[in-house]
Amino acid sequence: MTPKPEAGDLLPDCPMEIAGGGLVRPSDFRGHPLVLFFYPKDDTPGCTTQNRAFSELKPRFDAAGVALLGISKDPLAAHVKFAAKHGLTVQLASDPATDGLADALGIWGEKQMYGRTYMGMERTTYLVDGEGRIAQIWRKVRVPGHAEQVLAAAEELARG
């Protein structure tokens, strides 16, 4: 398993696909704080709640000058359908199946549930400063209240 970067480390700069075509990299947001929230799967209860919460707070992230990016390994078509179904306003990115950003961060790996082993995403959020360094990490996120907690930290980082 890949060692997990810690606060103060540079965020790996892996490309991801975004809806509407094209690629996005964390370095595209340099000069501004960035929140990357990784979630397991589109259109599941916890992931829907998480994406809705960030979408509802997006105007406040925007006002603070903080970019938001929701990331899973689901294909772009699933992201487009998911966003339309739930009125999501946060940009969603599709992390490559192998050697993507989640792999580089060590948050994609073997999981177990009900005695079954499978590959999955560890629900994790990164707050990145304008220089591309990880300012704060939330691992094994519990969804209720999480977006508000991240917003508070992002606003504080943006104020300097």
Catalytic residue among 35, 47, 92, 105: 47
Beta-strand runs (E) in 22-154: 23-24, 34-38, 67-72, 91-94, 108-113, 116-121, 124-128, 134-138
Torsion of CA 32, 123, 136, 30, to 10 degrees: -20
Tell me if residue 47 is catalytic: yes
Q: Cα angle at 18 between 26 and 140, to 5 degrees?
A: 60
**Pair of tokens at residue 100:** 């993507």
Owner of token pair 């103060």: 8
Which of 129, 138, 157 lies closest to 10, judged by CA? 129
Which of 75, 66, 82, 45 minimizes the C-alpha distance to 126? Answer: 66
- Total length of the chain: 160
The catalytic residue positions are: 47
